[in-house]
């Protein structure tokens, strides 16, 4: 993932840009699959949870997949378009207080190292491992993308909050205390958002 290359049969292939990796997980069982180690999970920007479809969506699925319907695929974006948008996202300005808020969310999850004093009690009681610097980076990049998608040219703390669950949930490792009480990483992120102060613009 880091090198943007794939090795198969002893040969290494460099993959063209834009390059990204998507992975699926079955929430019910692990048979035939292996959980990814934390270091690999950390390289994924988001973990997005998909629930059952709505009644209308399920009806649409039924009609499309049990009939002679054949969808027609059309190109929405070229590779060059995607690369241009990626560069555009990185140019979205971010105020200092928004950077600090994103960094604070990540640092307050750490129960080891030089940031452990910043962790609130509920984090110390529930986590064995917190989010690293990639979490802060992806909170900002996700916030920039969300700002553009909503027609704005600056990032707000609300953008960071909207990205917090998908960015943080797979980077936090709960301890026995949390697991015994049924506390999930989503619960912890929600509480983190409720208790982390948003600093005013300078």
Stronger pLDDT, 192 or 28, i.e. the higher one: 192
Residue 53, both tokens: 């479809």
Computed over its alpha carbons, how large is the radius of gyration of the chain?
20
* pLDDT digit string, tens, across residues 138-186: 999 999 999 999 999 999 999 999 999 999 999 999 999 999 999 999 9
Host domain of residue 90: 79-195
Phi/psi for 14 (5° steps) reads -80, 130
| SS3 assignment, position 156 | coil
Domain final residue pick, 65, 92, 109: 65
Is the domain of 104 the same as that of 43? no
Q: Do 59 and 83 belong to one domain?
A: no
Give strand ranges (E) for 24-177. Answer: 127-129, 173-174
Residue 34's CB: how many other CB atoms inside 10 A? 6
Question: Token digits for 108?
Answer: 């307050």
Residues 59 and 117 in one domain: no
Q: Looking at residues 86-107, what average pLDDT do you find?
A: 96
Percentage of the chain exceeding pLDDT 70? 96
Number of domains in the chain: 2
For residue 29, the model assigns a pLDDT of 67
pLDDT at 32: 67
Has residue 27 got a pLDDT over 80? Answer: no
In a domain, 86, yes or no: yes
Distance CA 15, CA 12 (A): 10
Residues 9 and 102 in one domain: no
Structure confidence at residue 127 as a pLDDT band (50, 70, 90): very high
pTM exceeds 0.85, yes or no: yes
SS3 content of the chain, % helix, strand, coil (to 5): 50, 5, 45
Distinct helix (H) and strand (E) counts, the chain: 9, 4
Total residue length of the chain: 202
């Amino acid at each position: 993932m880091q090198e943007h290359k794939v090795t198969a049969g002893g040969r290494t292939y460099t993959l063209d840009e834009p390059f990204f990796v998507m992975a699926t997980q079955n929430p019910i069982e692990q048979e035939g699959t292996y959980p990814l180690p934390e270091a690999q999970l950390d390289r994924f920007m988001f973990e997005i949870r998909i629930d059952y479809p709505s009644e209308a969506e399920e009806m649409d699925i039924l009609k499309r997949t049990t009939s002679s319907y054949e969808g027609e695929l059309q190109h929405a974006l070229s590779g060059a378009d995607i690369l241009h948008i990626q560069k555009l996202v990185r140019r979205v300005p971010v105020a200092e207080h928004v950077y600090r808020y994103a960094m604070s969310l990540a640092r307050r999850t750490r129960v080891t190292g030089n940031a452990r004093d910043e962790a609130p009690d509920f984090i110390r009681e529930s986590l064995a491992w917190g989010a690293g610097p990639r979490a802060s980076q992806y909170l900002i990049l996700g916030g920039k993308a969300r700002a553009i998608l909503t027609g704005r040219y600056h990032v707000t703390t609300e953008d960071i909050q909207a990205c917090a669950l998908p960015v943080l949930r797979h980077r936090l490792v709960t301890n026995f205390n949390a697991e015994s009480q049924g506390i999930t990483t989503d619960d912890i992120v929600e509480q983190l958002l409720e208790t982390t102060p948003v600093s005013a613009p300078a």
